[in-house]
Amino acid sequence: MLHGIILLTTGIVLFLFGMMKLSAKMQGLFTARMRGYIKYAVRKPFYGLLTGMISTIALQSSSATTVLIIGMVSAGLISFYHSLGMILGADIGTALTVQLVVWKFTDLSPLFIISGGSLWLVGKRKWVSIGEAIFYFGLLFFGLSLTAAATAPLRDNPAVIRFFQETRNPFWGLGFGVIFTGFIHASAIPISILVILAQHGLISLNNALPVVIGANIGTTVTALMAGAVSAGISGKRSAVAHLLFKCSGAIISLILLPFFIAVLRLLSNNVGQQIALGHFLFNLLIVVVFIFFLKPFAAQIEKKMPGKDDVLPLWPEYLEETCLANATDALVCVNKELAREMALTKRMYAELMEMTDAFHEGKRQNVRYMAWVVEHLQREMVKYLRKISTYLLSPQLSAELFAFTALVDDVTRISDKIVIIGDLLKDKTEKHIDFSPAAITELQEISGMVAKNLDYAVELLETLNGEKSGLVFRLEEEIDAKVKSAREGHLVRYCEKVCHAEAGPIFVEILIHLERISDHCQNIAEYVADMK
């Protein structure tokens, strides 16, 4: 028994490790594509449904997809209403993992581990990342194969067979599914274990189905935790909506449980397949019930949880293709879009300043998601500028074209620095590093001066009036002097044992990136001054 418990625990740990690593790896590969999918997801709930399904199949985790969706909603990339279809799709996509267990994909796991590991070790460039993803995919199912090996001897134990086969109160299975899944944050594990038990003839559908329903409710724990740290009300609404979807489906399924079981037995004679179909049909039922009523459902949630979050347009608003016929008009479009990108960057910096006073993980995530938008706008503006460059331009328009190209890059670099500072503040918080009162005062003063320079830069881009460039230049000199003084002051405090040694590198690095942000503001002022 001890050997079986160790093997079972090892299998679960390997599954969780493989799933988390695969989700992280695929998120890195998939995130860039995700921006493109959002474009379709916000058109109709059905498109959002497909986006959620595709995302979960890629990430192999509905929890990871839901957390990603909540983060995007909180940051304002998509609205609360548009997130609902994606959440419904994510829940359907998770049924694939269980179905692969039914098809005994676990037997092929060593092949995935060997082939993926080989590519990871000896592959070049993109093949390394692909090999790593394949390796973790195999590891995920290898963990389930260990679970199968651990449960195989139980089929010879009459007491175990009696325990799993005798019909029990469905609320017992429901509670077990909720608690177990809520603890491990992955509904695929308990449902896959049920399939494995069924393949060994150890469990009946009557006992398994309530656990499946409970596991689906338990998977909302991850989303609720993500919503709890979310900085915006919309992210919290999405998490609560996810819970309401699952609870509504559970109530309907339990009321119709005898009918539900009868339908599954008609569809398949294999108990393992019946369990997988039960998981799929449970989530399909939720989609059928809610997909056509998402607007009134969203309205009710917004009424119960009042508040308003701005939605950031992910795509350019001013880059009109019709304006390309005239280079002057096209550059005016670029200027408007660039001013919008700069205003968004200023909003990122405002979130950063709030984190400087009191770190909040939700705000850091918001900053990272807003950086998505800035990066996306930068790519679209560069493409638009390339189209303008194909025309025969006057020397003045050519100079403006190259100036705008440089300005787009400077604004994007400011966004990058803000993200880095946010990560440094997270590192400071996680390591319980405290700055001295003097360091905090210096940081607040410098960050306030940088914020003022950003205001000047925003105004310059909005008006293209270089007369105020001098304000940026003078403030930049003051910031440089202030940063130099703060670094010297930190060295004195360190020698006097006022500041902790581990606080130094983070404090100095934050100062460097703040100074760089101001440097980019100066670059913006120079380019605007040269354009007029």
Statement: residue 231 has pLDDT above 80: no
Stretch (H or E) spanning 132 = helix 126-151
| CA count, 13 A, side-chain hemisphere, 364 | 19
Question: What is the mean predicted confidence (pLDDT) over 274-294?
Answer: 92
- Quick count: other Cβ atoms within 10 Å of Cβ 261? 17
pLDDT at 446: 93
Amino acid 133 reads A
| % the chain with pLDDT above 70 | 92
pLDDT at 285: 93
Most confident of 103-117, 140-154, 277-291: 277-291
Closest CA to 61 of 10, 136, 125, 169: 136
User: Tokens for 519?
Assistant: 């440097």
Kindly indicate the confidence band of residue 90, based on its pLDDT and cuts at 50, 70 and 90.
confident
Kindly indicate the confidence band of residue 477, based on its pLDDT and cuts at 50, 70 and 90.
very high
What does the CA dihedral 96, 101, 103, 107 come to, rounded to 10 degrees? 130
| CA count, 13 A, side-chain hemisphere, 189 | 31
Closest CA to 510 of 424, 384, 426: 424
SS3 125: coil
Q: What is the CA radius of gyration of the chain?
A: 28
pLDDT at 36: 60
pLDDT at 417: 95
Statement: residue 74 has pLDDT above 90: no
pLDDT at 50: 84
Which domains can be identified in the chain, with CATH numbers? 2-304 (no CATH), 321-531 (1.20.58.220)
For residue 466, give the DSSP letter.
G
Statement: residue 38 has pLDDT above 70: no
Please state which of the ranges 24-38, 190-204, 275-289, 501-515 shows the lowest mean pLDDT.
24-38
| CA count, 13 A, side-chain hemisphere, 293 | 10
Statement: residue 57 has pLDDT above 70: yes
Question: What is the mean predicted confidence (pLDDT) over 152-181?
Answer: 75
Helical axes 2-41 vs 361-389, angle rounded to 10°: 40
Statement: residue 424 has pLDDT above 90: yes
**Core vs surface per residue 99-122: b (16+ CB within 10 A) or e:** bbbbeebbeebeebbeebbebbee
Question: What is the mean predicted confidence (pLDDT) over 395-424?
Answer: 91
Residues 201 and 197: their CA atoms lie apart, in Å, by 6
pLDDT, averaged across the chain: 84
Question: What is the mean predicted confidence (pLDDT) over 395-421?
Answer: 91
Statement: residue 53 has pLDDT above 90: no
Statement: residue 432 has pLDDT above 80: yes
User: Cα separations (Å) of 466 from 100, 159, 451, 461, 531?
Assistant: 63, 85, 19, 9, 8
Question: What is the mean predicted confidence (pLDDT) over 427-451?
Answer: 89
Question: What is the mean predicted confidence (pLDDT) over 478-488?
Answer: 90
pLDDT at 384: 92
Kindly indicate the confidence band of residue 279, based on its pLDDT and cuts at 50, 70 and 90.
very high
Which residues touch 52 (CB under 8 Å, ≥6 apart)?
Answer: 41, 65, 69, 85, 86, 87, 88, 89, 90, 91, 92, 93
pLDDT at 48: 82
Kindly indicate the confidence band of residue 275, based on its pLDDT and cuts at 50, 70 and 90.
very high
Residues 90 and 80: their CA atoms lie apart, in Å, by 15
What does the CA dihedral 345, 234, 188, 365 come to, rounded to 10 degrees? 20
Question: What is the mean predicted confidence (pLDDT) over 511-516?
Answer: 93
SS3 166: coil
Question: What is the mean predicted confidence (pLDDT) over 345-372?
Answer: 85
User: Tokens for 292?
Assistant: 């056509």
pTM over 0.75: yes
Question: What is the mean predicted confidence (pLDDT) over 248-255?
Answer: 93
| % the chain with pLDDT above 90 | 25
Statement: residue 32 has pLDDT above 60: no
Question: What is the mean predicted confidence (pLDDT) over 77-82?
Answer: 82
Higher pLDDT among residues 133 and 405, named by residue: 405
Statement: residue 339 has pLDDT above 90: no
DSSP string for 408-425: HHHHHHHHHHHHHHHHHH
Residues 381 and 185: their CA atoms lie apart, in Å, by 41
User: Tokens for 432?
Assistant: 């319980």
pLDDT at 27: 66
